[in-house]
Amino acid sequence: MLVLGIDTSCDDTSVSVYDAKENRVLSNIVSSQYSFHREFGGVVPEIAARKHAENIDLVFEEALEVAGVGVKDLNLISVTNRPGLLPALLVGLTFGKGLAYSLSVPFKAVHHIEAHIFSPFIGSEPEYPFIALVVSGGHTLIVLVEGFGSYSLLGKTLDDAVGEAYDKVAKLLGLGYPGGPVIDRLYREYDGKYLELPKPKVKGFNYSFSGIKTAVRRLVEKGYPAEQVAASFQETAVSYLIGKLKKALKETGVRRVAVSGGVSANSLLRERLKELDVDLYLPPLEYTSDNGAMVAYVGYRRFLIEGEDTLEVGALARCPIS
């Protein structure tokens, strides 16, 4: 069974062809829009939607070509329909529905966070239970996963997502967009002292990143060098992420951890995660940020359990995972 996975939830147009029987990704094409959003220091929904509309058929054709299959070989169309930027989501959703209708094949709508959660397992099968730490531009959450479809939200950010904090800090420092990769690089190059930044004290497994961001603004105003501020931010953000994760592991007794989302590409986060005494599952770099492969993987598994969705399904800007 060949599954098409489509994601246009934010600023990446992505289409993937996934061979479900072999549990193998045949192609995963991502067209990134970074250069169009750079001057605004963040994603502009209207621009994202227009660029998705311009690119989606090209990305789709390339996904088929790389996979070496024709459009009539597709057996299931799965598309992210929630949560995300509404106008951006609608492009992929409409494209996917049109394909499913014209090919008379089933259609499946996919939850973007569920897709991220399983991105470390594409090509394999997860063992349960595990703790999922989802760290992206739009989301920061800790979820207890006891089976496919069985999720308990343990904690989430109460304000900015960690990737969003990276992007805002980079903007304050004049480092461009997206902020994560450039701050990560500056951290690697820096070998001086770190500045003290506060770790907000919020209850349980929840996070808050807005206080760290404000503290960064003050350091910038005081004239500290960008490299030192960037490196100090990364040190604080990563140890904050790890601290709450450790707390969740201790309180649940779970010994498996799957980390996903754009920030899971971070080199320091990966280093610190590997020091934990757990079975660790990290996606390969190409599946850290938004991609169609994770949508196809999850869409197929949902289809097996609950069958197809009707083409009436709409897009949702917000939707909790549990």
Pairing of the two strands 130-135 and 140-147: antiparallel
Q: How far apart are CA 88 and CA 45, in angstroms?
A: 7
Q: Site residues for ligand KG4, window 146-175 (CB under 6 A)?
A: 163, 166-167
Binding letters toward Zn ion, positions 231-270, x by CB under 5 A:
----------------------------------------
Q: How far apart are CA 20 and CA 88, in angstroms?
A: 27
> Is residue 167 part of the contact set for Zn ion (CB under 5 A)?
no
CA-nearest of 209, 201, 168, 143 to 43 is 168
Instruction: Give the neighbor-by-neighbor strand order of the sheet with 24-32.
Output: 24-32, 12-19, 2-7, 76-82, 107-111
> Is residue 80 part of the contact set for ligand KG4 (CB under 6 A)?
no
Residue type, 281: Y
177, 171 contact by CB (below 8 A) = yes
Specify the stretch interacting with ligand KG4 by CB under 6 A; choose among 21-29, 134-142, 208-216, 220-228: 134-142
Sequence length of the chain is: 322
> Is residue 262 part of the contact set for ligand KG4 (CB under 6 A)?
yes
138 is in an annotated binding site: yes
Specify the stretch interacting with Zn ion by CB under 5 A; choose among 14-22, 151-159, 242-250, 286-294: 286-294
266 is in an annotated binding site: yes
CA-nearest of 21, 23, 25, 19 to 2 is 19
Q: Nearest distance from residue 314's CB to ligand KG4, in Å?
A: 20
Q: How far apart are CA 244 and CA 237, in angstroms?
A: 11
Specify the stretch interacting with ligand KG4 by CB under 6 A; choose among 55-63, 85-93, 255-263, 302-310: 255-263
> Is residue 133 part of the contact set for ligand KG4 (CB under 6 A)?
no
> Is residue 290 part of the contact set for Zn ion (CB under 5 A)?
yes
Instruction: Taking the CA atoms of 171, 175, 177 and 183 in sequence, report the sign of the dihedral they define.
Output: negative
Specify the stretch interacting with Zn ion by CB under 5 A; choose among 51-59, 102-110, 131-139, 307-315: 131-139
> Is residue 78 part of the contact set for Zn ion (CB under 5 A)?
no
Task: Tell me the H-state helices in the chain.
Answer: 34-37, 45-67, 86-103, 112-118, 162-172, 179-189, 210-221, 226-252, 267-274, 292-306
Specify the stretch interacting with ligand KG4 by CB under 6 A; choose among 90-98, 240-248, 263-271, 302-310: 263-271
Q: How far apart are CA 243 and CA 311, in angstroms?
A: 43
120, 283 contact by CB (below 8 A) = yes
Binding letters toward ligand KG4, positions 173-202, x by CB under 6 A:
-----xxxx--x------------------
Q: Nearest distance from residue 220's CB to ligand KG4, in Å?
A: 18
Residue type, 300: Y
- 68: exposed, middle or buried (Cβ count in 10 Å: 0-12, 13-18, 19+): exposed
Binding letters toward ligand KG4, positions 28-67, x by CB under 6 A:
----------------------------------------
CA-nearest of 96, 147, 158 to 308 is 96
15, 56 contact by CB (below 8 A) = yes
Q: Which of 16, 136, 157, 232 is the binder for Zn ion (CB under 5 A)? A: 136
> Is residue 10 part of the contact set for ligand KG4 (CB under 6 A)?
yes
> Is residue 12 part of the contact set for Zn ion (CB under 5 A)?
no
> Is residue 236 part of the contact set for ligand KG4 (CB under 6 A)?
no
Question: What is the phi/psi pair of residue 41, to 5°?
Answer: 70, 15
Give contact residues for Zn ion (rule: CB under 5 A).
136, 290
Residues placed in the known binding site: 112, 116, 134-138, 167, 180, 184, 266, 290
Residues placed in the known binding site for Fe cation: 112, 116, 290
Give contact residues for ligand KG4 (rule: CB under 6 A).
10, 136-138, 163, 166-167, 178-181, 184, 261-263, 265-266, 289-290
